[in-house]
Amino acid sequence: MTINQNELLSAFVDGELQGDEFEQALQIVTTNEQARTQLQRYQLVSDVLQGHTLGNQYVDLTSQISAALVDEPVFTQASTTNKKSQVIPFPKQFWKQATGLAVAASVGALAVMGVMTQPQNQLIPVTPVAAIDTPVVTVAQAGNRWTVGEPEVEHRLDTYLLDHNEYAGASGVFSYARVVSYDAGR
């Protein structure tokens, strides 16, 4: 083995080879047993100086592991690429459903905004169903309170309004922030 080869191995240990020299070093190491032993000693010195060894365990596991790997498959670039393509894509159906949901949410939001921008104290009559003879229930909003004849309905509407005020628009963000800080402070 020439001195030049050892210098190549020394630079290989340091990860300082590129291009042809890298190829050359790799070729030497994988085909020349003496070069492999030399590389191992250079690596050992480096490991000792950097504190990566313990006791007298100057081990060489390469032959044992190589023997154990004999029956293992040899990878190909295709097998590596195939692994990448194993990522499960979203089904096309998902995008259709997501689009439908987005449209429905937009319509819902517009409807809520429409209700919120109604003038105060405007009466919203609930039209009676013609086939059923039920009394007409009228609901009116005054400020943040609803006036309605039935307490159960009034309570439910109050709850809806509170929930809406909490989550809708910019004010919803602050309400949420208050909840978070309250929880955090407990």
Partner 1 sequence: MSVDLELVQRVQAGDKKAFDVLILKYQQRIVHVITGFVHDPVEALDVAQEAFIKAYRAIPNFRGDSAFYTWLYRIAINTAKNHLTARARRPPAMDVDAMDATNFYDAPELKEFETPESSLMSDELEQAIHRAIQDLPEDTATAIQLREFDGMSYEEIAQAMDCPIGTVRSRIFRARDAIDKQIQEIMGEGEQQ
Q: E strand or H helix at 140, and its extent?
A: strand 138-142
Question: At closest approach, how far in Å is the CB of 181 from partner 1?
Answer: 33
Residues 95-124 that bind partner 1 (CB under 8 A): none
Residue 74 or 136: the one with the smaller Cβ distance to partner 1 is: 74
Q: What are phi and psi of 138, to 5 degrees?
A: -105, 140
| Torsion angle of C-alpha atoms 143, 146, 149, 153, degrees rounded to 10 | 180
Q: Render the burial of 147-180: b for 16+ CB within 10 Å, e for the rest.
A: ebeeeeeeeebeeeeeeeeeeeeeeeeeeeeeee
Residues 30-59 that bind partner 1 (CB under 8 A): 30, 36, 38-59
Residue from the set 32, 33, 34, 60 that interacts with partner 1 by CB under 8 A: 60
Q: What are phi and psi of 15, to 5 degrees?
A: 65, 35
Question: At closest approach, how far in Å is the CB of 55 from partner 1?
Answer: 4
* 1 in contact with partner 1 (CB under 8 A): no
Site for partner 1, rule CB under 8 A? 3, 6-7, 10-17, 22, 26, 29-30, 36, 38-62, 64-66, 68-69, 72, 74-77, 79-80, 83
